[in-house]
Amino acid sequence: MPRRSDNKSGHTGVSFNKASGKWQATIQRRGIQRHLGYFADVEDAISARKHAEYLVGTVRPSYDAETQTWIDAAETKTERKKRQQRAKYERHGHKYRVRHKEQYDEDPRKILDRNAKWAADHPEKTAEWKLAWEKKFKEEHPEEHRARRRAIDERRKDKTAVYGKEWRKKNPHLNAKKQAAYKARKEQATVAWANDFFIEEIYAFAQLRTQMTGVKWEVDHIVPFCSDMNPTVCGLHVENNLRVITEIANRQKYAQFGDGVPAEHLWT
C-alpha cells in the first residue's frame, strides 16, 4: 500500500504518539473513536488495526503493487451478516437447538417443508453435506450403514435393474471393457487342479434356482478376485470358493468378503 502524505505509518487508523514514543492504533465505530493500544513496532499496530477492521466489518481495500490496482477486500453485507450469525450461533447454539425442537414438535410439517425448500434452493450445498454425513455415519456405525444400504438396495432393485440395462445399452464399450477385465482376472485365478465339472454344476444350479424361484441367482466368489477395492487378496476360481447367492446380495457384497450377506440370500 502506498504511503499517505498525511500519515507517517501509511495506514488508516495508525499514527505515532509522541507522548508515549509508540505507535497508536485506533478505529471508529458508530461515531465513537476506539483505542486499540500502543505498539513499539508499526507493523504490530497495523496488524491490530486490520484485525479490528475485520471484526467490525469495515475491511479496507488493499493495494497490489505488482498490478498497481486496488483489490476490494471488503466484506459484503451478506458475508458480514453470515459471519455474525455464525458467531452468535456458536455462543447460543444450545438455545437455538431447543427452540428448533419445540418448533418441530409443534408443527413438524412446517419444518420439513422449510428444510425441503432450502435443499431445493441449495442443491450443491445439500449434496456436499449429505456426502459428509454419510461418510461420518459409515465410519462410526459400519453395521447400521450396511443394513441401511441393504434396505435401500432392496427398495430400488427394480429401478437398479432398469438403470443397469439402459447403461449397458448406452455404453457398450465400457461394458465390454468391464467384462474383459473380469474375464482376465478369472483366467488368472483359475488353477490347474480346479474341477471343471463341479464348477459347471454350480453355474447350472444358479440357473436352475432362477427358473424355479423367479428370482435371479448368481455364482459368487467367496474370496473375490484381486481388484482396486481388494488389492491385497486374490481368490481362486475353484469349486470350493464358489457359492450361489441372489443377484441383489451379490451387488451388495461387490468386491468384499462374504461376511454380512443375509442368510435368506445364500444357497451353498
**Distance from C-alpha of 261 to C-alpha of 253, rounded to nearest angstrom:** 7
Cell of 168: 449397458
Of all residues in the chain, the percent with pLDDT exceeding 70 is: 75
Tell me which of 198 and 189 has the higher pLDDT: 198
Tell me which of 169 and 1 has the higher pLDDT: 169
User: How confident is the model over 98-125, as a mean pLDDT?
Assistant: 86
Decide if pLDDT at 70 tops 50.
no
Most confident among 3-7, 180-184, 247-251 (mean pLDDT): 247-251
Cell of 131: 456426502
Beta-strand pair 62-64/69-71 = antiparallel
In the chain, count H helices and then E strands.
Answer: 9, 8
Q: What is the pTM of this model?
A: 0.35
| Phi-psi category of residue 68: left, alpha or beta, with phi > 0 → left and psi -120 to 50 → alpha | left
Q: Indicate the pLDDT class of residue 86, thresholds 50, 70 and 90.
A: confident
Cα-trace Rg, the chain:
33
- Dihedral sign from CA coordinates of 184, 190, 196, 200: negative
Q: How many CA atoms lie within 13 A of 193 on its CB side?
A: 2
How confident is the prediction for the chain on average, in pLDDT? Answer: 76
Segment 153-179, tens digit of pLDDT: 888 888 888 888 888 888 887 777 777
Segment 90-109, tens digit of pLDDT: 777 777 778 878 888 888 88
